[in-house]
């Protein structure tokens, strides 16, 4: 999903009269006694201008200059996080900085792309330097861990909102798309889907979990791990792939639509054990796994001949990879095979921002 570009974001973070991070005029006669509010450019210099590893020109000019390698396609994606919609306003800004970048990196992982560059759009209701410092710490912790250069962006005053656009590289013709699934392919999911949904339920006070389980689930929600290493390793293995952001069932339907296929999910293969161990009963565990969202795990199809390769890859990455079903020839038909053998339509679906 792409946002409408209201202000050019690459390179220098431009300033316009209507875009104010601090006050233009004192709101109180004694305001002149307070330290001056830092300018937009000073905030950028303090918190977002860091050395780059593979960029010719980054923050400080009208546009960034990057040099993709020969024989490479650029993979580009963007995501927005809006306070009150995607995160609670009191979320730790360090976690928020991490997540803002991580959810975009997950899109690159889903394409089998190598992460390279990012630009940041940030709307702030006011200047809160301690908040900005922690947000930048989380953002750059994620950037450093996954080899990403922040090369520009834009700041403005407004309701708290964060937009990141991410750029990655993938060899020509090697990207893993959504339209490559074939009947007979097996369906796989990485990691422990559903924990983030349990974490959200905890924060919404809809469920009470033991302390250790609560901590783990909230961490899964606020600190997702983009599966970039897995995405790279699945080039030539996976036939179709995406990352699960809006629920496994809803997102699997995107693969089915683009590939012109159907799917059958086997309830006996669903990785419910971590959710049950956390304290969820089976109906809640199933709902969180199939429809919870915010997992940012990779959901992919692969030929049955790849089972041994995937088992070795799971061991190598120390990451669970679980086979949960198979692709069918029945276009658009997604069914769940229950424990008793009945084939039924799933009773849950994914998240829709406009539903």
What pLDDT is recorded for position 57?
80
- Is 347 within 8 Å of 286 (Cβ atoms)? no
pLDDT 10s digits, 234-292: 999 999 999 999 999 999 999 999 999 999 999 999 999 999 999 999 999 999 999 99
Residue of 140, 148, 149, 119 whose CA lies nearest to 3: 119
User: What is the Cα–Cα distance from 195 to 215, expressed in whole angstroms?
Assistant: 10
Which residue shows structure tokens 């161990």? 277
pLDDT 10s digits, 11-63: 333 333 333 333 333 444 444 555 666 666 666 666 566 777 888 888 777 88
Pick the CATH number of 38-171 from 3.90.230.10, 3.30.420.40, 3.30.1330.10, 2.70.150.10: 3.30.1330.10
Q: What is the mean pLDDT of residues 158-175?
A: 95
CATH superfamily of the 186-344 domain: PurM-like C-terminal domain (3.90.650.10)
For the chain, the distance separating the N- and C-terminal CA atoms, rounded to the nearest angstrom, is 16
pLDDT 10s digits, 291-314: 998 999 999 999 999 999 999 999
Checking if the pLDDT of 172 tops 50, the result is yes
Q: Count CB atoms within 10 A of the CB of residue 246.
A: 19
The CA-based diameter of the chain, rounded to the nearest angstrom, is 75
- Can you count the helices (H) and strands (E) in the chain? 10, 11
Q: What is the mean pLDDT of residues 93-108?
A: 97
Q: For the ranges 29-38, 51-60, 69-78, 147-156, which has the lowest average pLDDT?
A: 29-38
User: What is the Cα–Cα distance from 254 to 258, expressed in whole angstroms?
Assistant: 6
User: What is the Cα–Cα distance from 333 to 19, expressed in whole angstroms?
Assistant: 49
The domain locations on the chain are: 38-171, 186-344
Average pLDDT, the chain: 86
Structure tokens at 288: 């969180």
Contacts with 275 (C-beta within 8 Å, 6 or more apart), sequence order = 192, 194, 195, 198, 284, 285, 288, 289
Confidence of residue 154 (pLDDT cuts 50, 70, 90): confident
User: What is the Cα–Cα distance from 293 to 149, expressed in whole angstroms?
Assistant: 28
């Amino acid at each position: 999903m792409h946002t409408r570009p209201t202000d050019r974001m690459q390179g220098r973070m431009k300033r316009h009269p209507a875009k104010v991070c601090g006050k233009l005029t004192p709101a109180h006669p004694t305001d002149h006694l307070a330290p001056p509010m830092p300018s937009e450019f000073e905030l950028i210099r303090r918190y977002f201008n860091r050395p780059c590893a593979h960029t010719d020109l980054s923050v400080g000019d009208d546009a960034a200059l990057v040099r993709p390698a020969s024989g490479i396609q650029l993979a580009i994606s963007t995501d927005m996080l809006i306070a009150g919609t995607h995160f609670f306003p009191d979320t730790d800004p360090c976690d928020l900085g991490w997540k803002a970048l991580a959810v975009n990196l997950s899109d690159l992982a889903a394409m089998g792309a190598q992460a390279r560059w990012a630009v940041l759009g940030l709307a702030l209701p006011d200047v809160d330097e301690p908040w900005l410092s922690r947000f930048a710490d989380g953002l750059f912790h994620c950037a450093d861990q996954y080899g990403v250069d922040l090369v520009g962006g834009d700041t403005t005053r407004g309701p708290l909102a964060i937009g990141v656009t991410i750029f990655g590289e993938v060899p020509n013709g090697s990207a893993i798309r959504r339209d490559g699934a074939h009947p007979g392919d097996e369906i796989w999911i990485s990691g422990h889907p559903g924990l983030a949904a349990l974490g959200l339920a905890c924060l919404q006070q809809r469920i009470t979990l033991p302390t250790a389980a609560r901590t783990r689930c909230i961490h899964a929600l606020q600190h997702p791990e983009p599966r970039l290493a897995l995405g790279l390793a699945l080039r030539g293995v996976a036939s179709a792939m995406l990352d699960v952001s809006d629920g496994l069932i809803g997102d699997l339907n995107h693969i089915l639509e683009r590939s012109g296929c159907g799917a059958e999910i086997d309830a006996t293969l669903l990785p419910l054990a971590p959710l049950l161990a956390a304290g969820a009963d089976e109906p809640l565990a199933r709902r969180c796994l199939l429809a919870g969202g915010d997992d940012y795990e990779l959901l992919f199809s692969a030929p049955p001949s790849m089972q041994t390769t995937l088992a070795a890859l799971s061991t190598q990455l120390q990451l669970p990879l679980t086979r949960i079903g198979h692709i069918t020839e029945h276009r658009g038909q997604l069914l769940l095979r229950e424990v008793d053998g009945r084939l039924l339509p799933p009773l849950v679906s994914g998240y829709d921002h406009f539903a």
